[in-house]
Structure 1
Amino acid sequence: MVVNMVRDAGDTPEADIHQGITAPCDPVGVKETNNEATFDYCSPEYHKMISQSLLNKGHNARLKRAIQKAGQGEPVVMAYIGGSITHGAGAIPIHLRSYAYRSYERFKAMFAPSDSRSIQLVKAGVGGTPSELGMIRYDRDVLGDGQIQPDIVVIEFAVNDADDETRGNCYESLILKALAADNKPAVILLFSVFENDWNLQDRLAPVGWHYNLPMVSMKDALVEQFHKTKQEGNVITKEQYFHDIYHPTNLGHQIMADALGHLFDAVNHAELDQDDHDLRRPPVIGDDFVHVKLLDRKNGNQLAKINPGCFAQTDTDLQMAEMDDHDYATPLFPHNWMYTRGDRAEAQKFKLQMRCRCLLLIFKDSGSDEFGTALIKVDGVLTKQANPHEVNWTRCHAMLLIQDKHVREHTIEIEMAEGHEDKRFTILGFGYVS
């Protein structure tokens, strides 16, 4: 298997680098919302910085097929899944200036200029969530529960997966879940970076090398030059790139889109690779969750035996996200179970019985004092404590309960902790592998 690396601007012709840049080459630059005066997208230094984002071209047959389909006017679906950066946080307006929307627009301009309506955007970024939740959301938010077949899938969890309890198993499982689809989509790994120069690329990139996937690294593009003066080769400052310590500005989102555009162009000009990704290889970290599915109030009684007890209400104050190219936000996990105090102690418990080998709880974090801590028993043993105030804002929180190699009958009991009986707690759903 040949691994194609691009580390130097000299590896790609200057004209080709230009092709992947989203912004028009206007020396006047763009006035940014952070009051930075101008920015030059045409400088050789900028093109070199963008070229350094290309960590790996990867095996190109799947991406070249999507490019060819676009050029022939056939429908192409571009999907993006990740955290708040994929959601578009820091971009104004969020639905039109995110890196996902801009790279989708660039792809259309590059490969389907005559009929861009044939290219569809699926954007499934949710703030504050790792691949531990992303893999559960994938079927619903990316595949539309079987109605959508993406041709390109961009996965961006490099700054969110510190919370992944499996330390990469969920991430690799999500990648394999996407790669294994019958229509063989191109899977691209995108590594964002925080203002403190941190991401999880060292943990996650080996998965990309293992399957020879296209990989784009904002850390490789940006961090070294962040610490240089203009005379030493600085292209963009942290103040220009970051809206806050986590999220890019409009300019930062555009640079991310340019990096993806550079990958598209590099693959378009490369010779076609004949072999496909070898998915028979043993995983680097793990593949326990490739077949994970969502269980919630909508389908739960078809999949398991459930006694909701006092978790009988439905919570409507949920985390929201602008999905796809929508300018409105969609509530996440609306088919949930919310606890409100009951009279009898036994009726307080939520009880789920089902056969599975892996199980994750999804619950609601909240900044409201009305919410309290719940205790989780697995097969009669107190296993976890779910505190909705770990981050003190409304978000979806995934927690691993069971990870086994064999399917067995399990019983899950959830009840409020002592002293929290007058509080609320929302079970958003479960991720299960049967």
Structure 2
Amino acid sequence: MLQDSGDTGGNTEFTAPRDPVGVPESTVKPDIDFESHGYRDMISRSLLNKGNNVRLKRAIKKAKNGEPVVMAFIGGSVTQGAGSAPIHLQSYAYRSYESFKFMFALSKESPVHLIKAGVGGTPSELGIVRYDRDVLREGTVQPDIVIIEFAVNDADDETQGNCYESLVLKALAADNKPAVILLFSVFENDWNLQDRLALVGWHYDLPMVSVKDAVVAQFHKTKGEGNVISKKQFFHDIYHPTNLGHRIMADSLEYLFDVTNRSEWDEQDHDIEKAPLIGNDFVHVKLLDRKNGNDIARIDAGSFDKTDTDLQMAEMDAHDYGTPQFPNNWMRTGEGNDAQRSFKISLRCKRLILVFKDSGDDEFGTAQIRIDGKFVKQVDPRQVNWTHCHATLLLNEVHVGEHSIEIEMAEGHEHKCFTILGFGYVD
């Protein structure tokens, strides 16, 4: 739970959203003049920081030369495209990718590629676990541009920004030196975590685009005072933009691209060797799941011997269909003679994140977790009450050690279901 200390008229306590992604298009008809001075002025306010431009100009130059360029987006439900319809063609991510191609690609056939990795209701604590799989595609993809959007999801980041900065550094440190852009979306109540997260961008002089800075001030003005778009036009619901809202987000990124293209090259690249602002403890997080788990750790799945197929779905890349999240999981159904056998895993690590499945099904129950024989916490998959990937921090130590983790059902929940989706670990 965090308090916003921004310019929205006082502190407002707000909890991150806990609702599934919705995609119906708003019925409010836009009456926006996209060529007007007012609209362009609104978009220009989104440029929080031009940032060091070496990497973004390099990606633009590659596109102009007809070379392959990969644009990657990682974030929550806004990046997934929630509120837009059709979700695969009207999301800000797809529209930004189309804008970049139109602006810079040598021809329509130029190889500019889209990686879209937004998963609804999830913070950077899960994003850092997903990055290698969903953005780098297990080392088969090297993005030239990475856009990170967690400004409305990270209230539930238990590391208070450490995972966010770690994710930024993980992207920046890639061998091909991609451009990293921080994007700050906003909720209908004018809230986001920009005050905390933008500090990371200033620290590394990253390009930053703030939808909050673009739209919030004018929401509270009359047309005569400079209002361009209403909240009803911008928001599909209290969390997600309409098609028009997604367009404004894409136009804001396009403005950054244009300003960067017209600017002189900066002399030096980012300094990523400096001490981190919040922390870099999770830069080297790796995913452990049922697919690779036995190669990394000693696992006794106990009664968690099934595979859950009723999973959170997300429309990845330019697909109009959902991709199941964390399909290589361990599930217990609470049935049979061995129903009470716990899940046990032993591995060398210093940091460990559990990813488990939230559910609205009352068949799911609370589990309790012990590390090295000591009770650590209980986790309740009914807390969120919809099918959702939930990351929770189990271990955060300075030194690597051999650790044993045991997961079993809490008292009174012995015959309930529970799904372990995977783990993120640092060794």
Do the structures match in fold with TM over 0.5?
yes
- 1:390 to partner: Cα distance: 1.3
For normalisation by structure 2, the TM-score amounts to 0.93
Q: Aligned partner of 2:337: which letter?
A: D
| Of 218, 234, 243, the match for 1:241 | 234
- 1:274 to partner: Cα distance: 1.4
- 1:106 counterpart = 2:99: yes
Alignment-derived partner of residue 84 in structure 2: 91
Q: Aligned partner of 1:264: which letter?
A: F
Q: Aligned partner of 1:343: which letter?
A: N
Report if the CA contact (8 A) 2:30-2:233 is conserved: no
Determine the C-alpha separation between the residues in 2 that align with 1:406 and 1:34. Answer: 55
Determine the C-alpha separation between the residues in 2 that align with 1:290 and 1:387. Answer: 27
- 1:390 counterpart = 2:403: no
Alignment-derived partner of residue 180 in structure 1: 173
Q: Aligned partner of 1:93: which letter?
A: P
- 1:130 to partner: Cα distance: 0.1
**What is the root-mean-square deviation of aligned Cα atoms in Å?**
1.0
- 1:339 to partner: Cα distance: 1.1
Structure 2 unaligned runs (5+)? 1-24
Runs of 4+ aligned structure 1 residues displaced above 4 Å come to none
- 1:37 to partner: Cα distance: 4.7
Alignment-derived partner of residue 366 in structure 2: 373
Report if the CA contact (8 A) 1:364-1:428 is conserved: yes
- 1:200 to partner: Cα distance: 0.2
- 1:60 counterpart = 2:49: no
- 1:343 counterpart = 2:337: yes
Q: Aligned partner of 1:373: which letter?
A: T
Equivalent residue of 2:354, what SS?
Answer: strand
**Taking every aligned residue pair, what percent have the same amino acid on both sides?**
71
Q: Where do residues 75-224 of structure 1 align in structure 2 (5 Å cutoff)?
A: 75-112=68-105, 114-224=107-217
Partner deviation per Cα, 1:329-387 (whole Å, 9 max, x = no partner): 11010000001234358x61000000001000000000000100000111111101110
Alignment-derived partner of residue 6 in structure 1: none
- 1:318 counterpart = 2:311: yes
| Of 290, 304, 307, the match for 2:297 | 304
Report if the CA contact (8 A) 1:73-1:115 is conserved: no
Q: Aligned partner of 2:320: which letter?
A: D
Report if the CA contact (8 A) 1:379-1:412 is conserved: yes
Cα distance, 1:45–1:361 mapped onto 2, change above 3 Å: same
Report if the CA contact (8 A) 1:315-1:426 is conserved: yes
Partner deviation per Cα, 1:283-323 (whole Å, 9 max, x = no partner): 11000000000000000000000000000000000000010
Determine the C-alpha separation between the residues in 1 that align with 2:42 and 2:341. Answer: 58
Partner deviation per Cα, 1:2-50 (whole Å, 9 max, x = no partner): xxxxxxxxxxxxxxxxxxxxxxxxxxxxxx8423252210110100000
Alignment-derived partner of residue 412 in structure 2: 419
Determine the C-alpha separation between the residues in 2 that align with 1:202 and 1:123. Answer: 25
Q: How many residues align?
A: 402
- 1:59 to partner: Cα distance: 0.4
- 1:275 counterpart = 2:301: no
Report if the CA contact (8 A) 1:108-1:116 is conserved: no
Determine the C-alpha separation between the residues in 2 that align with 1:344 and 1:366. Answer: 23
Report if the CA contact (8 A) 1:34-1:249 is conserved: no
Determine the C-alpha separation between the residues in 2 that align with 1:293 and 1:320. Answer: 22
Report if the CA contact (8 A) 1:109-1:116 is conserved: no
Partner deviation per Cα, 1:212-243 (whole Å, 9 max, x = no partner): 00000011111110000101100100000000
- 1:116 to partner: Cα distance: 4.3
Determine the C-alpha separation between the residues in 2 that align with 1:242 and 1:266. Answer: 27
Q: Aligned partner of 2:118: which letter?
A: G
Determine the C-alpha separation between the residues in 1 that align with 2:58 and 2:338. Answer: 61
Determine the C-alpha separation between the residues in 2 that align with 1:193 and 1:117. Answer: 33
Report if the CA contact (8 A) 1:34-1:243 is conserved: no
Determine the C-alpha separation between the residues in 2 that align with 1:244 and 1:33. Answer: 9
Determine the C-alpha separation between the residues in 1 that align with 2:82 and 2:309. Answer: 23
| Of 67, 73, 81, the match for 1:74 | 67
